[in-house]
Chain A
Amino acid sequence: MKWNSKYSYLLLVAAVSIPIIFPLKLKFASTVYVREFYNEVESAPEGSRVLINNHIGASGWETDFKPNMKVIVGHLIQRHLKIYVFCPSSTAPVLWDRDIRPMLEDAGYVYGTDWFLTGFYPGGETALGAFTDDPQGLVLSDYYQNDVSEMPLWKEVVTMDDFELAIHTVVAERGMRQLYSAHRMNVLMMADSGELSDSLTYYTAGMLTGIVCGIRGSAEYEILLNKPGEGVRNTDALSLTIALIPIMTILGNIIHFVDKFRGKQIK
């Protein structure tokens, strides 16, 4: 029996498209690490400083990170927390400026007083290490090319002890080495869908306080905030796509055994 891979693509397209056109509104429970992320933000005193290590690239932004970032920043705004964004990714400040800045401005957040955005700092973990060791020495101008020496919000930050929370994105190891081990920060993780198992290693060890991961994470957070949005809408499509895995596995095995019984070579 011959199975054309294009049939698999068609099944996949159907599994993704149907819930987008006709929402199924499937129920889901919230996980303990998302609740802990939420509780940590909820319990931060008003006016606390929050560092976001924004290492997000363009590819994962639209579905994975934008809903996460929107719902979490929405919560930070609700709690009146001050937001500092450090960007060791070239596209991160551009995406933040395009998609998150309007949200902050609509909420009445003033740049330089309530939130701050750095430009792109190349070097990945090296840049993060340099930032955590001496933020005032590294960041001399912001994304908008302003001299930050007179900016009130920036003057408040001298060491990492001045931040109450750190939200780390993408590779968990980097955050653990530079934020947790080197400075004992209270680290929350905003991970993409492929990073949950890596992040859970650190969460189980007590190094991460909470995790929000991918579409499911944003959906859970939206439910906790009682503001269903993009995450909830995308969860149906994700659930149906995941359900396709066992179906394809069973189908593949049936084809395999049919071929075996017929004594044909598997194609």
Chain B
Amino acid sequence: MISMDITVWITAILYICFLSQLIRRNYAYLFSEYLLVGLGAGIAFVMAVETLLGTSKVQLVVNQNYFFLVALLLGVGLFGRLIKGYGWVGRWPIAIMVGVGMAIATRGTIEAEILHQIYPTITGLIKPGDIFGTFNGILIFIGMISSIFYFLYFTKYEGTKGRYLGKLAYMGRCFMMLFFGASIGQMYVWRATYLIGVFRHLLGTWLGL
């Protein structure tokens, strides 16, 4: 049975507008695209303002933390980029945001993405009583070493030694190609998931099939 819910109808019509792009680019598609971007920006703005008002009220009125005004002023300074001649005002908050963002991201990077990746690769090589685990560990180890060799540029792959090193680097390239292939496959699954959501809405929620 077809849904009588107006929001379901609006969603279904917008989905059809989006899908119409598969035939050719048209105004219905453009309308839905612009609507999505506009709504996204609108929701983000409203949500940010609501959180800001709630936090400001507590910080300034209840806690009387006037240092918070500095953060507010820096936030307002971002809009300086929109006024001719005051673009420089916007550079300060952006510089602070980039600096803080980099610092916060960096604090865990060395451990999470370097040390803690290398350590289990080396220690997890042999898993007693687990043949597949051991095979997996050795495969990951070979993949890591050979992939690193692919990025070593200090040696020329010449002569007998060079030929073997070259083959190792080629093996690393193969491992990376496998990873990229898996990533592309996953990207396909990801997009397919979105499509399933669209058709489940159109066929199930909207048309009631």
Chain A contact residues, CB within 8 Å of chain B? 6, 9, 12-13, 16-17, 20-21, 58-60, 62-64, 90-91, 93-94, 119-126, 129-130, 140-142, 145, 147, 149, 173-174, 176-178, 180-182, 192-197, 201-202, 204-207, 214-215, 233-234, 237-238, 241-242, 245
Closest A-B pairs by Cβ, 9 of them: A177-B108, A63-B197, A181-B108, A141-B54, A194-B190, A140-B58, A90-B44, A129-B104, A119-B51
Q: Are B113 and A119 within 8 A (Cβ)?
A: no
- In the assembled complex, B3 has its CB within 8 A of some CB on chain A: no
Please, could you name 14 A-B residue pairs with CB atoms under 8 Å apart, sorted by A? A13-B199, A16-B196, A59-B194, A63-B200, A122-B44, A140-B58, A176-B108, A176-B113, A178-B104, A194-B189, A205-B121, A238-B192, A241-B192, A242-B188
In the complex, the chain A residue whose C-beta lies closest to that of B23 is A6
With a cutoff of 8 Å between Cβ atoms, the chain A residues found around residue B44 in the complex are 90-91, 120, 122
Number of interface residues of B (CB under 8 A): 55
Chain B contact residues, CB within 8 Å of chain A? 22-23, 40, 43-44, 47-48, 50-51, 53-55, 57-59, 62-63, 97, 100-101, 104-105, 107-109, 111-113, 116-117, 119-121, 140, 179, 182-183, 185-190, 192-197, 199-201, 203-204, 209
Contact flag A237-B199 (CB < 8 Å), given A182-B107, A204-B120: yes
- How close is A153's CB to chain B, nearest CB, in angstroms? 17
In the complex, the chain B residue whose C-beta lies closest to that of A121 is B51
Q: Are A16 and B195 within 8 A (Cβ)?
A: yes
In the complex, the chain A residue whose C-beta lies closest to that of B115 is A181
Partner pick for A140 among B22, B55, B100, B200, CB 8 A cutoff: B55
A123 to B100, alpha carbons, bound, how many Å? Answer: 10
Partner pick for A197 among B50, B105, B111, B179, CB 8 A cutoff: B179
- Main secondary structure, interface of A, reads helix
- How close is A90's CB to chain B, nearest CB, in angstroms? 4
Q: Are A145 and B203 within 8 A (Cβ)?
A: no
Most A CB contacts (10 A, CB to CB) among B40, B105, B196 go to B196
Most A CB contacts (10 A, CB to CB) among B100, B117, B199 go to B199
- How close is B44's CB to chain A, nearest CB, in angstroms? 4
In the complex, the chain A residue whose C-beta lies closest to that of B120 is A205
A10 to B111, alpha carbons, bound, how many Å? Answer: 47
With a cutoff of 8 Å between Cβ atoms, the chain A residues found around residue B185 in the complex are 245
With a cutoff of 8 Å between Cβ atoms, the chain A residues found around residue B183 in the complex are 197
With a cutoff of 8 Å between Cβ atoms, the chain B residues found around residue A205 in the complex are 116-117, 119-121
- How close is B185's CB to chain A, nearest CB, in angstroms? 7
Q: Are A126 and B104 within 8 A (Cβ)?
A: yes
With a cutoff of 8 Å between Cβ atoms, the chain B residues found around residue A64 in the complex are 190, 193-194, 197
Partner pick for B97 among A126, A174, A193, A194, CB 8 A cutoff: A126
- How close is A76's CB to chain B, nearest CB, in angstroms? 24
Q: Are B186 and A181 within 8 A (Cβ)?
A: no
Q: Are B209 and A63 within 8 A (Cβ)?
A: no
